[in-house]
Structure 1
Amino acid sequence: MSEKKQSLALLAIFSFAFIAMGVGTITPAIASIAAAFPSVGFSTILLVSTIPSLVSIPVAIIGGSIAGKSVKYRTLVIFATIVFVIGGVVPYFLDNFITILVSRAFFGLGLGLIMPLNTSLIFNLIPPDKQANIMGINGVVMNIGGIVLQLLGGVFASIAWNYSFLAHALGLITLLLVILFLPEPKKHQFPAGAEASQEKLKLPGSIYGWALVFLIVTILDFPSLTNMSFVLQTIGANSSVAGIVLMFMTVGGMLAGTVFGKIYQRMGKQTLNIGFAFFIASQVIFAFSQSVVLFIIGEALMGVGLTLVMTSINMLAGASVHPSQTPMAMSIIVSGMNLGGFLSGYVYAAIMGALGITTLRFQYFCGTAGFIALLIVFLILFTKNKSAPA
């Protein structure tokens, strides 16, 4: 691929990354949506944010199994973008909560394909020696998209709750760039010999382990997204302020993405632990903060942690499989993340209900303890291996 074509391909890949964090677009509007439907319970309201993650799970697995095989990458990427736009915008026109949930489930069809396909395209179109840096830049673009979408979601929600859904229309720009510039990755050839090829097709067990880690991480960090507008209300902040606060998660993620390649080259697997340390700091701040400024700092720290952890897992997993297996590997890992996003609210509701706890800040104490446990586990596992995998 010529340098010009590779640059245009990267533009298309990055535009796809731009909408990858679209699930967070309406998080600043959760409190406004709840106010618009006072007869709907809190856990049911959260389905507006979490049901796309649930639908994404089987979609990601199916997409990963067919991408580059029975269905072209380009076809799946275009389909995912179209569904993202349609499913994302339609709730603006609705006033029935059930039909809104149905449209959010449809939105999940596109969402389930976006992140695994985005990562797989990097592993299949970019030379191995450039992948860490491109993954870092990809994270920057992903977080810029998150900033724009969340900020628009919060600002629009201050007008009316349903306006927040209009921010998804930005996906039309992605659709245009993908159609114009995204090439179809070449099919990879296996070494000669049926046995070698068959062996290559077996996913390592570590992929499922990384999916479990992603599930736990998402359960722990999700309250910092979905419940933030409610917590900020307790200190007098409205939905537009919540949008600004949440935006700084993506600011932190963007900053981390700009230096990820250098950090990963130097620290290798330990980059994951650095990310956990940032997560811990963010949860401590959320648990005790009484000012918007501190919440902003906490969200920025969480964004750094999320980018370092997510991208480290993707790099470690991608290095352990053949390029032709990356769609399936990334789909399994992203499914862990999506399942964690769906389960998070129910896990905390069950724990808080059993203990009779009503303050939402309890979830941040749980997040602190959980991330400390993960840090200890991976410090033990990685202490003797600081180099990045070949």
Structure 2
Amino acid sequence: MEKKEISSKKLAVTVLSLSLLTVMAGAAVAPALGVIERYFAGESQLLIQMIISVPAIFIVFTNMFFPKMCKVCKSRTLVLIGLILYTVGGCAAGLFSSIYTVLAARALVGIGVGIVMPMSTGLLAFYFPPDRQATYMGYSSAMNQMGGVIATLLSGLLAGISWRASFLVYLMGLISIILCLIFLPNHRIVSEETHASGGAFKEYYAFVIAIFLLMTTFFIYPANFAMETVAEGVIPQKFISVIMAGMDFVAFVGGLSFVLIMKRLLNKTRLLAPGLFLLGYVLLLFPGGWIGTLAGSVCIGFANGLGIPFIISTASRKAGKTAATTVMPLISMALYLAQFLTPVIMSVVKSALSGHNIAHLPYMVAVVVAVLLLIWSVVELKEKK
């Protein structure tokens, strides 16, 4: 019995290690973009920005074919393929002197994450009973946030050495490769119950749209916070990165707190993240200054850390052991598509309102999306008995 429990814990640690690598995979080298831009001074701004956005496109593309990959490869084989692409592609980007070969290496990162992301939560649903899944989903969300903090800090430090060195942050994948080789079983996770993608979307659309709205609401913050704060002129530039790192830490705490909150609020938990997002952006908009910025950042961070595990754990519980091949690829696609489209959405809104000088427009857009998320959570995420 004791041996089995130790094995179970090692398996959980192995699967959770995948969560360190996924959500911020594309943005891990964001702190080095300034150095990279100077090196590729002759290239367009769009190509430089694509270093961050290209992985998201390939993650979405890979997730479309993920269920078919599961029919060909067993779980450990598939995870290792994804981790190798993530690690090799991530590090290789620093070896090239052409922006196009750098982007090709970034595409490999996207394909790797497109494989690993559904597995990082789907395997929790496959190997662990429902009563333990909620706990591990909370840990998974916390690891997502901690992985972002670690990767961002390491990338920033390595960028001080060289822009090429900043890509060594992807060596973090080696930890998961070693753990998976030792502790992850090689089971076939496809069953007869696996749906075609169209059928899966019809069954799980509520969670897919919810994660898209949630990630859009959240991603407006990191994409615009620095510029909006500088424009306001109250908080010095040197404190902006500290506040954003603090927000990531609060999101980490939110993930760790998920199980306790879920036990107390039950299905009402679905309203907490949208409500906190709404409150957070209202605080950024109206009080503003130090108080509004700090309080708003705390609310937004906690909402993100809490909202992701709620949606994923609820969806996984409904899908059962087929989660990795049904709902998780769809959730992964929606999550990364939101990351990619959020700047596009903001660009369209700004263009449409170009004749009007509206202060803190991104925060206003976030309030609107947060209201949509709240309405969607009330109507579509209500537990059906």
Q: TM-score per shorter chain, which class?
A: 0.7 to 0.9
Deviations 1:56-100 (A, max 9, x none): 012122223332x32111011111111111222223233433332
Q: Any residues of structure 2 matched to 1:248-327 within 5 Å, and which? A: 248-287=246-285, 289-290=288-289, 298-327=296-325
Given that residues 210 and 313 in structure 1 are in contact (C-alpha distance below 8 angstroms), is that contact kept between their aligned partners in structure 2? Answer: yes
Which stretch shifts more, 103-112 or 41-50? 41-50
What does the per-residue CA deviation read over 1:226-273, in whole Å, with 9 as the maximum and x for residues that have no partner? 4445556655526xx665443323312221122211222332332222
Q: Which residue of 2 aligns with 1:177?
A: 179
- When residues 198 and 373 of structure 1 are mapped into structure 2, their CA distance, relative to the original with a 3 A threshold, is closer
Aligned to 1:194: none
Q: d(CA) in 2 for partners of 1:282 and 1:34?
A: 33
1:49 to 52, 57, 61: 52
Q: Secondary structure at the match of 2:251?
A: helix
CA distance in 1, matches of 2:275, 2:33: 28
| Aligned equivalent of 1:367 | 366
Cross-structure match for 2:28: 25
Verify the 8 A CA contact 2:125 2:317 in the aligned structure 1.
no
CA deviations 1:2-53 (Å, max 9, x no partner) are 1111111112112111212333312334455445555555554432222111
Which AA in structure 2 matches 1:237?
Answer: Q
- C-alpha distance in structure 1 between counterparts of 2:330 and 2:57, whole Å: 13
1:152-173 deviation per Cα after TM superposition (whole angstroms, max 9, x unaligned): 2233345554443222212111
SS at match of 2:111: helix
Instruction: Describe the shift of the 1:4–1:113 C-alpha distance in structure 2 as closer, same or farther (beyond 3 A).
Output: same
Instruction: Please tell me whether the aligned partners of residues 352 and 358 of structure 1 are also in contact (alpha carbons under 8 angstroms).
Output: no
Normalising by structure 2, report the TM-score: 0.85
Runs of 5+ in structure 1 lacking a partner? Answer: 191-196
Aligned twin of 2:349: 351
Change beyond 3 A, Cα 1:221–1:141? closer
My pick for the range that moved more, 198-207 or 10-19, is: 198-207
Gaps of 5+ in 2: none
Contact 1:150 1:246 in 2 (8 A): no
Q: Which moved more, 1:88-97 or 1:137-146?
A: 88-97
1:214 and 2:231 correspond:
no
Query: Which stretch has the larger CA shift, 315-324 or 108-117?
Result: 315-324
SS at match of 1:2: helix
Q: Indicate the residue corresponding to 1:59 in structure 2.
A: 62
After superposition, the Cα gap between the structure-2 partners of 1:361 and 1:85, relative to the gap in structure 1 and judged at 3 Å, is farther
User: 1:137 touches 1:257 (CA, 8 Å); kept in 2?
Assistant: yes
Which secondary structure state, in structure 1, belongs to the residue aligned with residue 16 of structure 2?
Answer: helix
Does the CA contact (< 8 Å) of 1:26 and 1:154 recur in 2? yes
On the 8 A contact 2:74/2:188 being kept in 1, the answer is no
Question: In structure 2, do the counterparts of structure 1 residues 85 and 187 end up closer, same or farther at CA, with 3 Å as the change threshold?
Answer: closer
- How many residue pairs end up in the alignment? 376
Paired residues of 1:276 and 1:374 also in contact (CA < 8 A): yes
CA distance, structure 2, for counterparts of residue 279 and residue 168 of structure 1: 31
Residues 1:92 and 2:91 aligned together: no
Over aligned residue pairs, what C-alpha RMSD do you find? 3.2
Tell me, yes or no, if the aligned pair for 1:29 and 1:157 is still in contact at 8 Å: yes
**Which position in structure 2 is the counterpart of 1:193?**
none
Aligned to 1:376: 375
d(CA) in 1 for partners of 2:339, 2:194: 34
In the TM superposition, residue 186 of structure 1 has moved relative to its aligned partner by 6.5
Query: Structure 1 residues 301, 323: CA separation in 2 closer, same or farther (over 3 Å shift)?
Result: same
Alignment of 1:118-157 (within 5 A): 118-157=120-159
